[in-house]
Structure 1
Amino acid sequence: MHQPSRFIHDNFLLENAYAEELYHEYASKMPIIDYHNHLPPLQIAENKIFENISQIWISGDHYKWRAMRTLGIDERYITGSVSDIEKFRKWAYTVPYTMRNPLYHWTHMELDRYFGITDLLNAENADTIYHKTSEKLQTEAFSCQQLLSRMNVESLCTTDDPIDPLEHHRKLADSDFQIKVSMAFRPDKAIFIGMDSYIAYLENLGEVCDISIDSFDTLCDALRNRVAYFHENGCRLCDHGFEHMYAEDFSETEVKAIFRKKYDGLTLSEEEVLKFQSAILQFLSTLYYEFGWVQQFHLGALRNNNSRMLDKIGPDTGWDSIGDFQQASSLSRFLNTMDRQNKLTKTIIYNNNPTDNNMMASMIGNFNDGSIKGKVQFGSGWWFMDQKEGMTDQMNALSNIGLISSFIGMLTDSRSFLSFPRHEYFRRILCNLFGKDIQNGELPNDMTWIGKLIEDICYHNAKEYFDF
């Protein structure tokens, strides 16, 4: 087989002519709706210009950090205080060792799509590529807003704490920036009553709302206040990151007593924590239905496994993994509770454990009641699953058990402004799945209809699903 001269070539990941046609004629032309990411709104609003590629590419990227640590690179070259070029040199040294990890594909797609660099990154060309990319990044043509525009992003949705005043989103809304920047309400800190910092967080939340949060009822008042505030500022989504859903039975008397116990500095039992979290989640989900929001649940991550490194450099620095939690019964109870009350809003369930794919794909079908196309969604492969095999497994499970034609497609879930080629990565994998089925005779050679389905999955379904 002929090996293309460029690694990231026009037909990268496309294994036959059908896949090539589906991608080039249909998928590649679709705008991007990135409905969940962790981009800093401040940097978008200020149209930040980065000094060098390390600051935009390595800083905050725990995918890269984990790879570097595995290769034996000292932490000072990862999250430490050495210079940016020294960090880049260590990352460039690491890249050839990441073969068969998605980082190898992402790295070279991003170098090509943003900077036109087709060379394979390694220790020998690190300095050349560092200076070439950094020189471009220091220009207005490579500002945050321009980086988003060059990837054909139509709208994106950041993730924001209820305490956030949203001034950066308001600034963007009043600007002439053409990309719609919305937000997702992320109130997990108000749910996780077992945290040592819980009461301190409620004090901050109360100050923002001008409410003294000293009871379960006043906490609910504060959360309603912030949901309304976010809604006024254009928010139409929420997001939660749980090990598993919270769906314990509880009474109002129990929940109020649990709050008072925590407020008084007493230790809660595991059962009390779960009851309280179930109550707050049910209250919030009712609010989301009332305001017409989409609710998102990222399930299955086991976080902060390395307590020594957590103490040293903090959370969200690369010490998390796939968890093996029991998901089905609690997820079913939660969805059924909201559905029985006729208050189940549009819902996206993201799975972080491949063993649960078929269960998740079957679960969403229980609550798609015909009222809304794809009302309950099996979200795209998340975190450890947002690579070729993980995305393929998710789409195969959804195809086999549900309707992939109603799927709302890809999102970056990223903190990096250089991560948007992941949409292209997803689209190529999607087109290759359909292309192989056509070649195998498992799907008809009806490119017009299948091309429409591809466009729907890449763009139109999400456009219809979200109210930005």
Structure 2
Amino acid sequence: MKFLDDKGYLLRNGVGERLFYEHAEGMPIVDYHCHISPREIYENRRFANITEVWLGGDHYKWRLMRANGVDERYITGDAPDREKFQKWAETLGRCVGNPVFEWSHLELKRFFGYDGVLNADTAQQVWDLTDEALSRDAFSCRELVLRSNVRVICTTDDPADSFEWHRKIAADPSFDVSVVPAMRPDAALRIERSGEFGAYVDRLARVTEVPIATFADLKRAISRRYDVAAELGCRASDHALNYVMYAPATTELIEDIFERGRAGEPLSEREVMQYKTAFMQFVAGECVRLDWAMQLHFGCRRDNNRAMFAKLGPDAGYDCISNYAPAGQLADFLNSIQETSGLPKTILYSLNPADNMVIDTVMGCFQEAPVTGKLQNGSAWWFNDSELGMRDQLTTLANEGVLGNFVGMLTDSRSFLSYPRNEYFRRVLCGLLGEWVEQGKYPDDEMLLGQLVRDISYNNAVRYFGFDLDEE
């Protein structure tokens, strides 16, 4: 088969090809979790070169370059952009079997029309091609979003953020894409970070004009910012956890822990977990109040290389999968919310693919009307953004739940060139369904299959998050 063959790539057979080209390919995108900048969208940023748009902040690529023996100067350092790109090209040519190899070439093909292979020998050719293209208006941030058929972008925002850029985008009639905040109050959760935590609480107090002396005050301040985000179209929160914990405590004890944590006093591991449990129970209740979806990302062990963390900070490519995600605490946490505020719509993402079956079976304990697919096993993400990871997540969900209700793919990206990942996912989905049809596991009924593909690609997310969009 030809490299990235438009007809057969990842699609397995004729059924998969038909499902993709007649039902999945043209569907719009709801990017309900990403890390792109609303400011860059409002200002319609233009990129000076392919290094700027492709390598800045992309720890997927950074990890591969380090594994290829590239000096840090060419990764996060001060080397010229052309030299950084050369080192990336030299690395990519050796990454056979890695999904980043496929994503990168899909992006080059879809945005720049490049059908070749990027490696050490072709780096100059690709640099010149992309340099010329990026100088044109069609490659500004907004145009890249529009060309990708994106209808909604949910950015990742702290409650203390100003939301300035969301307001400006919403007031601009020239850009017909909804760019809405999604709340990520992780800084208010990380009470173990002593001085950092206290400084954040002070900042939140200033932004909200709510004096924060107690945990009750903190909750009131966050509720106020959540209301502002809701007015701007927010439909979800997102939370980065090592694991979903459950360590209940009395109101009095949580207030004591908060007071000592804000003052920078040391806390025991148990006390930290008790505070985090109480905080997460609170934000779950807020999601119920506002009819938001609560997204829980867990199963990650972060910042393992302490020397490089001290040098570069977080999100620099030094995280790994954690194999500790206790099912009992996850179930008890969900049950505690069910017994108090009631469960919000909840999406569970574990970075450890071994947790898929656990997630799917725990979800089955809490599904309920009237929300279809109220609990979701989130899209395969980060280290699982591959055909193998996606097929495993989809297959396990199909075995233990209702695949047709799945809300589909998100980019989780910082790059405006990342939207071909949705194509990659849709090809994997259609290829898997075509394979099941070929094996006699599902009828070759295009009406049923086509609707299922359209729903997973787009419609389910529109319904689940409650976006004011027409289904297709």
TM-score with structure 1 setting the length: 0.98
Contact 1:155/1:180, CA 8 A, preserved across alignment: yes
CA shift, 1:11, in A, is 2.1
Give the superposition deviation at 1:212: 2.1
Residues 285 and 341, structure 2, Cα contact 8 Å, conserved in 1:
no
| Residue correspondences, number | 465
Residue aligning to 1:353: 352
Post-superposition CA distance 1:63-106 (Å, at most 9, x none): 00000000100000000001111100000111111111101100
The aligned residue for residue 144 of structure 1 is: 141
1:7 and 2:26 correspond: no
Query: Letter of the aligned partner of 2:162 in structure 1?
Result: P
| Worse overlay, 377-386 or 257-266 | 257-266
Deviation at 1:327, TM superposition (A): 2.8
Cα distance per residue 1:262-299 (max 9 Å; x no partner): 23332111111111111111111111111111110011
- Further displaced range: 369-378 or 67-76: 369-378
Which runs of at least 4 in structure 1 moved beyond 4 Å after TM superposition? none
Number of the residue aligned with 1:155:
152
**C-alpha distance in 2 between matches for 1:262 and 1:7:** 53
Aligned-partner Cα distance in 1 for 2:72–2:401: 44
Rounded to whole Å, the distance in 2 between the matches of 1:434 and 1:128 is 38
**Paired letter, 1:104:** F
> Who is 2:95 aligned against?
98
Q: CA deviation at 1:342?
A: 4.7
**Which amino acid in structure 2 is aligned with residue 99 of structure 1?**
V
After superposition, what is the alpha-carbon deviation per residue over 1:183-239, rounded to whole angstroms, capped at 9, x for unaligned? 110001101100131101111111111122221121111111111111122211100
How large is the Cα RMSD of the aligned pairs?
Answer: 1.1
Q: Which runs of 5+ in 2 are unaligned?
A: 468-472
Q: C-alpha distance in 2, partners of 1:324/1:126?
A: 39
C-alpha distance in structure 2 between counterparts of 1:66 and 1:320, whole Å = 10
Query: How far is 1:319 from its partner?
Result: 0.1
Report the counterpart of residue 193 of structure 1 in structure 2: 191
Q: Is the 8 A contact 1:347 1:376 kept in 2?
A: yes
For 1:131 and 1:209, locate their aligned partners in 2 and report how far apart those are by CA, in whole Å.
49
Q: Which residue matches 1:236? A: 235
CA contact (8 A) 2:197 2:262 kept: no
The answer for the alignment partner of 2:38 in structure 1 is 41
Distance across 1 between alignment mates of 2:207 and 2:71: 41
Partner of 2:118: 121
Aligned-residue offset at 1:127 = 1.3
Amino acid at match of 1:319: Y
Find the residue that maps to 1:29 and give its secondary structure.
coil
CA contact (8 A) 1:211 1:222 kept: yes
Does 231-240 or 8-17 show the bigger shift?
8-17
Task: Please report how far the alpha carbon of residue 401 of structure 1 lies from its aligned counterpart in structure 2 after TM superposition.
Answer: 0.3
Alignment partner, residue 294 of structure 2 = 295
| 1:321 and 2:330 are equivalent in the alignment | no
The residue number in structure 2 matching 1:178 is 176
SS in 1 for 2:94: helix
The alpha carbon displacement at 1:8 in A equals 4.2
Question: Is the 1:11–1:20 Cα contact (8 Å) retained in structure 2?
Answer: yes
TM-score normalized with structure 2 length: 0.97
> 1:220 corresponds to which residue?
219
Determine the structure 1 residue equivalent to 2:22.
25
1:458 maps to what in 2? 457
Deviations along 1:240-270, one digit per CA (max 9) or x if unpaired, are: 0101113211101101111122233321111
Q: Which residue of 2 aligns with 1:421?
A: 420
Asked whether the 8 Å contact 1:293–1:346 carries over to 2, the reply is: yes
Matched, 1:89 2:86: yes
Counterpart Cα distance in 2 of 1:152 and 1:232: 25
Alpha-carbon distance between aligned partners in 1 of 2:337 and 2:362, rounded to the nearest angstrom: 14
In 2: Cα distance, 1:223 partner to 1:342 partner: 17
CA deviations 1:299-334 (Å, max 9, x no partner) are 111000000100111110000000011331111111
Q: Which digits, 9 at most, give the CA deviation of each residue in 1:94-153, with x for residues without a partner?
A: 111111110110011000001000110011111121121022112211100100111111
Name the stretch that deviates more: 336-345 or 94-103: 336-345
Gaps of 5+ in 1: none
The structure-2 alpha-carbon separation of the partners of 1:219 and 1:86, relative to structure 1 and needing over 3 Å to count, comes to: same
CA distance in 1, matches of 2:326, 2:380: 16
Alpha-carbon contact 1:55-1:84 (below 8 Å) kept: yes
Specify the code of the residue in structure 2 equivalent to 1:253.
Answer: E
Matched AA of 2:458: Y
| Partners of 2:304 and 2:319 within 8 A in 1 | yes
2:38–2:155: 8 Å Cα contact kept in structure 1? yes
Query: 2:67 matched to 1:70?
Result: yes
* One-letter code aligned to 1:184: A
Contact 1:41/1:168, CA 8 A, preserved across alignment: yes
1:53 pairs with one of 36, 50, 53: 50
Residue 264 (structure 1) aligned with residue 263 (structure 2): yes
Residue 281 (1) aligns with residue 291 (2) = no
Give the Cα–Cα distance (whole angstroms) in 1 for the partners of residues 226 and 271 of structure 2. Answer: 25
2:470 is aligned to: none
